[in-house]
Amino acid sequence: MLLIPELVALLIVANGAPLVLSRILGTRGYPVDCRLQLPDGRRLFGASKTWRGLAVAIVAAAVVAWLFRLGFIFGAVFGAAAMLGDLLSSFVKRRFGLGAGDRALGLDQLPEGLLPNFVAWWWLGVSGWVALLAALIFCVLNIWGSPLLYRLGIRRRPH
């Protein structure tokens, strides 16, 4: 029971659902950071990290995990961990002076790939190597897939 395809699919769903919903609705929701600026003058996370995106990521991951028979609650926790990793990435990028959408290779992919797979390791008992491989496959797919999604009009930027 490797679960690599399922874990990668859950990562794609959790990280892609907010983007898809934003493209469908054409608007952004209310920002998670409530527009808070830190003493460095930069936002805590940025305008693109919204409560709506957080909610849809968690629900979408929960539904897909349920369909994969991994459990609805596991999927919700997995999706929340993916979004926590995404928020961590955004926080670090803001501290480095990078804007929303600026590329930070590795930083844009690793936290949101590794944190939820840590949950899979702990919750499902998958091998650490399986969890790591799923996160790395997600990172490669994210790096290679973003330009394609941009060309298809799904992403606003090619990275």
pLDDT digits (tens, 9 = 90+) for 88-123: 999 999 998 887 777 777 778 899 999 999 999 999
Question: Residues 36-47: what's their mean pLDDT?
Answer: 91
Asked whether the predicted pLDDT for residue 146 surpasses 70, the reply is yes
Q: Strand locations in 5-129, DSSP E? A: none
Q: Which amino acid is at 77?
A: V
Average pLDDT, the chain: 90
Give the pLDDT confidence score for residue 102 in this predicted structure: 74
Give 154's pLDDT tier (boundaries 50, 70, 90).
Answer: low
Is residue 19, in this structure, part of any structural domain at all? Answer: yes
- The pair of structure tokens assigned to 42 is 């930069």
Is residue 127 in a domain? yes
**Is 158 among the domain residues?**
no
In which domain, by residue range, is 67 found? 4-151
Residue 118 inside a domain? The answer is: yes
pLDDT at position 2 is 66
Which pTM was predicted? 0.90
> What is the tally of structural domains in the chain?
1
Q: Does a structural domain hold residue 156?
A: no
Residue 138 within a domain: yes
Does residue 144 lie in a domain region?
Answer: yes
Query: On the CB side of 20, how many CA atoms lie within 13 Å of its CA?
Result: 9
Give per-residue pLDDT as tens, 53-93: 999 999 999 999 999 999 999 999 999 999 999 999 999 99
Secondary structure (3-state) at 157: coil
**Separation of alpha carbons 152 and 62, rounded Å:** 27
Within a domain: 159:
no
- As a whole number of angstroms, the distance between CA 122 and CA 109 comes to 21
At 156 the pLDDT is 67
Residue with tokens 């799904």: 154
Tokens for 79, please give them: 């999706």
